[in-house]
């Protein structure tokens, strides 16, 4: 593989995307693909400090401040990790990216979605994922999977997670070529097969 690829995994907390990302990384590596696994918020260095604030700070965080902290992490992540790896020909698998901010801070917290989209563009310098997989799950199942040990974001309540889920579906409907939605309530093996099918379709499309 000489052409880099940027693939993002999205969905509400507890949707199983992190498990699927690891399984896909193993599958691709077995097939000789040069893979980089990363995440937002907090891939490393400064990002880890921002992640700690975003998930664990127990004082008041205003909605706009929260959005800017995620965006700051994103700018650093794209500039120092994602863009260099994709440009070097790697397949970058990223756990959450721009669509998390649209779904959580936009639809979830009620921040203006057009502004969030513009800020995402600024944070990424306009680079968009080649493929985004949304692992769709209802809010009840999502929160039940998270369990009782919830971080700051996960403590936002069921109404919030209903809006996040609806947000993801709206975002996906607007960009059907980039964003594919999978049913994340299926078994791990079934979802993995669905993921592999999407990736192989994408790789074939790039070759042709």
Of 65, 139, 119, 98, whose CA–CA distance to 57 is shortest? 65
- Neighbouring CB atoms inside 10 A of 191's CB total 22
Shortest Å, Cβ 53 to ligand TYD: 11
Q: Under the criterion CB under 6 A, does residue 80 sit at the interface with ligand TYD?
A: no
Q: Which is nearer to ligand TYD, 61 or 206 (CB)?
A: 61
- Residue range at the interface with ligand TYD (CB under 6 A); choices 80-88, 92-100, 176-184, 195-203: 92-100
Q: Under the criterion CB under 6 A, does residue 41 sit at the interface with ligand TYD?
A: yes
Q: Under the criterion CB under 6 A, does residue 70 sit at the interface with ligand TYD?
A: yes
Which residues does 177 contact at the CB level (< 8 Å), separation at least 6?
A: none
Q: Give the three-state DSSP class for 28.
A: helix
Q: Under the criterion CB under 6 A, does residue 101 sit at the interface with ligand TYD?
A: yes
Q: Under the criterion CB under 6 A, does residue 20 sit at the interface with ligand TYD?
A: no
Shortest Å, Cβ 77 to ligand TYD: 9
Distance CA 137, CA 109 (A): 19
Number of residues that bind ligand TYD (CB under 6 A): 14
Question: What is the arrangement of strands in the sheet containing 35-39, beginning at the earlier edge strand?
Answer: 35-39, 91-95, 5-10, 131-136, 179-183
* Count of alpha carbons within 13 angstroms of residue 172, beta-carbon side: 21
Residue of 18, 19, 141, 192 interacting with ligand TYD (CB under 6 A): 18
Shortest Å, Cβ 5 to ligand TYD: 20
Q: Give the dihedral sign, CA 182/184/185/187.
A: positive
The residues binding ligand TYD (CB under 6 A) are 13, 18, 40-41, 55, 70, 95-96, 100-101, 104-105, 153-154
């Amino acid at each position: 593989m000489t052409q880099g690829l940027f693939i993002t995994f999205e969905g509400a907390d507890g949707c199983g995307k992190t498990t699927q990302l690891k399984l896909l990384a193993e599958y691709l590596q077995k097939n000789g693909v040069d893979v980089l696994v990363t995440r937002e918020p907090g891939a490393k260095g400064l990002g880890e400090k921002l992640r700690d604030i975003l998930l664990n700070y127990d004082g008041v965080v205003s909605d706009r401040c929260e959005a800017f902290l995620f965006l700051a992490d994103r700018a650093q992540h794209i500039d120092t990790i994602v863009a260099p790896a994709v440009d070097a020909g790697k397949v970058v698998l990223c756990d959450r990216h721009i669509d998390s901010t649209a779904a959580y801070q936009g639809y979830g917290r009620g921040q203006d979605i057009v502004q969030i989209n513009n800020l995402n563009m600024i944070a990424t310098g306009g680079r968009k994922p080649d493929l985004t997989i949304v692992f769709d799950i209802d809010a009840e199942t999502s929160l039940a999977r998270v369990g009782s040990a919830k971080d700051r974001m996960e403590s936002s309540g069921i109404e919030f997670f209903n809006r996040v889920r609806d947000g993801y579906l709206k975002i996906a409907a607007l960009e059907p070529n980039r964003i594919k939605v999978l049913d994340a309530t299926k078994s791990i093996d079934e979802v993995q097969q669905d993921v592999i099918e999407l990736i192989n379709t994408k790789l074939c499309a790039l070759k042709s």
